[in-house]
């Protein structure tokens, strides 16, 4: 009986079959579980970046969704649409994961009723200020993902806009996109 291997020992013993290249069955199972896990993780990340996912909580909240759907980021003459996640979720992996984890707090507050359709307006300014501060701290990286200053034809812009869109101006006055362009996709709340 001592020579009989347990299930786990057999699972991780190199195979003798040539077509398995001596790789233990457990190795194949680990790879399959890893691939399924990675594909599932990617699917969840993609699904939680879709507008429909965002609408699940935000529709009817003081017209957040309706404001966005009337904005130039939703409909414009070029047919280009920026989704909620394009502005509110970083594109880089680790900052994106940080935002997704922090967003669980909002899900919790929705579940326990801290934020709801009846009291959202009371919290809107604080939430908007938090978004503004986050975007400012990230130097408006989400804006710059699509709107690259170096690609702008400043000669085509009005004088006031072209002078403020120059990299020199932004660096000199420590300004970023959200300093001038608040209220583009949602009405600008009164920040107290």
Q: Report how far Cα 35 is from the mean position of its chain's Cα atoms.
A: 23
Strands (E), the chain: none
Confidence (pLDDT) at 73: 93
Q: How far is 169 from 163, CA to CA, in rounded Å?
A: 7
> Over the stretch 127-182, which tens digit does the pLDDT of each residue have?
888 889 999 999 999 999 999 888 889 899 999 888 898 888 888 999 999 999 98
Q: Is the pTM value of this prediction over 0.95?
A: no
């Amino acid at each position: 009986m001592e020579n009989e291997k347990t299930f786990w020992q057999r699972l991780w013993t190199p195979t003798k079959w040539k077509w398995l290249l001596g790789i233990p069955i457990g190795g194949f199972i680990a790879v399959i579980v890893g691939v399924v896990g990675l594909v599932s993780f990617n699917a969840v990340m993609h699904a939680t970046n879709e507008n429909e996912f965002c609408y699940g909580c935000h529709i009817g909240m003081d017209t957040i969704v309706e404001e966005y759907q009337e904005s130039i980021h939703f409909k414009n003459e070029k047919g280009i649409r920026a989704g909620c996640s394009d502005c509110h979720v970083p594109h880089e992996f680790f900052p994106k994961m940080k935002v997704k984890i922090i967003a669980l707090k909002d899900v919790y507050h929705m579940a326990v009723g801290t934020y709801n359709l009846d009291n959202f307006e009371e919290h809107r300014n604080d939430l908007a200020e938090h978004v503004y501060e986050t975007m400012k701290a990230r130097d408006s990286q989400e804006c710059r993902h699509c709107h690259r200053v170096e690609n702008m034809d400043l000669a085509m812009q009005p004088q006031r806009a072209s002078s403020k869109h120059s990299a020199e101006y932004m660096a000199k006055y420590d300004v970023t996109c959200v300093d001038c362009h608040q209220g583009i996709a949602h009405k600008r709340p009164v920040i107290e």
